[in-house]
Structure 1
Amino acid sequence: MKLNDTVIRKFRVAKVFKENSDKINSIDFYANGETLISSSDDESIVIYDCQNGTPKRTLNSKKYGVDLIRYTHTVTTVLHCSTKVDDTIRYLSLHDNKYIRYFSGHTKKVVTLCMSPIDDKFLSGSLDKTIRLWDLRSQNCQGLMHLLGRPVAAFDPEGLIFAAGINSESVKLYDLRSFDKGPFTTFKLNQDKDCDWTGMKFSPDGKLILISTNAQVIRLIDAFHGSPLHTFTGHTNNKGIPLEASFSPDSKFVFSGSTDGKIYCWSTETGSKVAMLSADHPGPVQCVQFNPKYMMLATACTNMAFWLPYVDE
């Protein structure tokens, strides 16, 4: 089964989970698509089995809170940010619910966290106007960049370069092997006056960069030339929250949540809206991701919803 406009319009909520008492602030699929992990403002981490459609287990992080949860390259360990005590990034073993390492350095809330697709490096960006490069094996920061504004960052699918979005107006591309020499290219975009960039992702094929904001606009640019390709609109964001937008695994579609509880989908080729999918989300849908291996979409407000294409008999 291949993703196309018709298949996307047939997506329906197959299962709703009500494991959380407060909003789910981030989700992440493991690379093989078999499990999904979520972090919530209720200070819990929930692991879901995507094949059986069941919650596997719940861990609590009452002491530090939990935000921006990310799988590493093993299904038993994750990184997450904190919502209280301090702005340390924590490396957690899910197997025994113990911390392996702490990554200290940021002095304000961490707003972007991404794992390298190929090795143990990861990037973090904070409201302290810095981006830091780390390695899971060392608590010491491997690299530090001072910026002029709020950062967003992302690795390309090959893990050789990363993009940093600065001040909601420019995208800088860095080579990981020599990033201390500065960016090898900079794309200047029209500044979004009414909103901040809150998320950045490379498409799975590496050709596109998606920039999500805390307003009713999502931008798509060419990853090689920085030229603006499409601006996706139509969803609502009247609360100024960082709604996540994500690619389908074939890079042909973009999905986003909305404060009206619906899911919107656009074509990356034409820029046109493909579908508006209705769910029973009672609150703003902050998290939206497509499973990397299976024909399944996950969306979250306080509830977690798993979507599958409804096939006519």
Structure 2
Amino acid sequence: MAEGQQSTPVPQPSGQATQLPQKLPDIIRSYRPCKSFRASKADNSNYVTSLDFDDQGDYLVAAGDDETIQVFDIKEGKLTKSVPSKKYGVHLARFTHHSRQVLHASTKVDHSLRLLDLHNEGYVRYFTGHTDKVTCLAVSPGSDSFISCSKDDTITLWDLGSRNPQGKLKLATPYLVAYDPSASVIAIASQSTSSILLYDVRNYDKPPFSTFDLAPFEELYTPSSRGRAWTKLEFSNDGKYLMVGTDYHGHYILDAFEGTVKAFLTGKGGSPGRAAPVSSTGKPLGQGDASFTPDGRYVIGGNGDEPDVLVWDLQQEREANNMLPPMCRLPYRGRTAIIDYNPRYNMIASADKETVFWQPEEPPRPSDK
């Protein structure tokens, strides 16, 4: 999306979409919360642990530590379905390319992945093989393949049509995984080695074709948390950038081809209080508190315990050592521990104890003369 006239529609509560002839930076600055939904109506202590939009941006799925999956209709602006998963628990809920199917990890009984049909609220298939907690799930943008990584030090490749693994890699602490937009490259982040490994999807059983060593950058930007506190791995939609989100200090924006730091996003006021993606400390689960906008120009993210959302403009001039402060802060009354940008519409979803919808404020209408 180029700077200038905004052409992406904004979903309205009535289901209608309108055009906003505003400059893109002005739209980004005008986002405000418009609706919120509590994770659990019965208990104020429950947290949302993951968020994901479907391909068309029409639905949002939220997993919670109350062991419930919530599905929201974006155009209608309402919660349409709540599916309990009391037996197995639920985390890292992800839409497949079929908007009525959700894939998720388990938090108890075993470490299987489960494919849920939202229409009849029944499980279509279980994917078994991991022997410890699943730390990340990534669905291929180009097929029904998906990847999981686990604390059992394995990366497993799957196909939605088969319960049996299609392939497996054994690596040291493969904590996070992401597909590039072309679905031809897999990025795997290993915290203990401070590295990111890039694999060709067609030759995943071969050594990585590239390795990014983040240790020197951690010494520069995050020396007190080297080798830990990574929370998010995400490619920008144009494939140019790879983001490594962290729990506290800020976020790395890497050149997706060379692995060099293009920017280190500063300004966070602390930790969101989540252990992402898995917890061994009793903290609530999470999936990272930063996300690219669909055009790849901006990153939106939480601000720890501070009650606002940060926006970074990757076209903005850097400070010393490529450090990049926020372009603006979007006011909010609570903490933002998870955030995601709708792939089609101008709206944001964020969460902590409640799921919040954000939309740009409409510009004032010119008065009739």
Residue 266 (structure 1) aligned with residue 317 (structure 2): no
One of 226, 241, 244 as aligned partner of 2:259 = 226
Counterpart of 1:59, as a letter, is V
Residue 81 (structure 1) aligned with residue 105 (structure 2): yes
Using the TM superposition, give the Cα deviation of residue 178 of structure 1 relative to its aligned residue in structure 2, in angstroms: 0.7
Highest Rg: 1 or 2? 2
Counterpart of 1:308, as a letter, is Q
Residues 1-313 of structure 1: matches in 2 within 5 Å? 2=6, 4-20=24-40, 21=43, 22-167=46-191, 169-190=194-215, 191=218, 194=225, 195-238=228-271, 239=273, 241-242=275-276, 243-260=288-305, 261-270=307-316, 271-281=324-334, 284-313=335-364
Query: Cα–Cα, structure 1 residues 78 and 165, in superposed 2: closer, same or farther, change >3 Å?
Result: same
Counterpart of 1:306, as a letter, is F
Q: What is the RMSD of the two structures over their aligned residues, measured on CA atoms?
A: 1.6
Structure-1 residue corresponding to 2:279: none
Using the TM superposition, give the Cα deviation of residue 10 of structure 1 relative to its aligned residue in structure 2, in angstroms: 0.9
State the TM-score, normalizing by the size of structure 2. Answer: 0.81
User: What residue ranges of structure 1 are gaps of 5+ in the alignment?
Assistant: none
Q: Could you list the per-position Cα deviations for residues 187-232 of structure 1 after superposition, in whole angstroms to 9, with x for gaps in the alignment? A: 1112455133222000011110011122222111000111111111
Using the TM superposition, give the Cα deviation of residue 19 of structure 1 relative to its aligned residue in structure 2, in angstroms: 4.5
Counterpart of 1:307, as a letter, is W
Extract structure 1 runs of 4+ deviating beyond 6 A.
none
Q: Whole-Å Cα distance in 2 between the matches of residues 258 and 151 of structure 1?
A: 23
The answer as to whether partners of 1:256 and 1:264 remain within 8 angstroms in 2 is: yes
Q: Whole-Å Cα distance in 2 between the matches of residues 75 and 311 of structure 1?
A: 29
Q: Secondary structure at the match of 2:315?
A: coil
Q: Secondary structure at the match of 1:12?
A: strand
Counterpart of 2:250, as a letter, is V
Q: Whole-Å Cα distance in 2 between the matches of residues 237 and 121 of structure 1?
A: 36
Q: Secondary structure at the match of 1:118?
A: coil
Q: Whole-Å Cα distance in 1 between the matches of residues 49 and 269 of structure 2?
A: 18
Q: Secondary structure at the match of 1:181?
A: coil
Using the TM superposition, give the Cα deviation of residue 253 of structure 1 relative to its aligned residue in structure 2, in angstroms: 0.4
State the TM-score, normalizing by the size of structure 1. Answer: 0.95
Q: Whole-Å Cα distance in 2 between the matches of residues 56 and 101 of structure 1?
A: 23
Q: Whole-Å Cα distance in 2 between the matches of residues 124 and 216 of structure 1?
A: 26
Percent identity for Structure 1 against Structure 2:
37
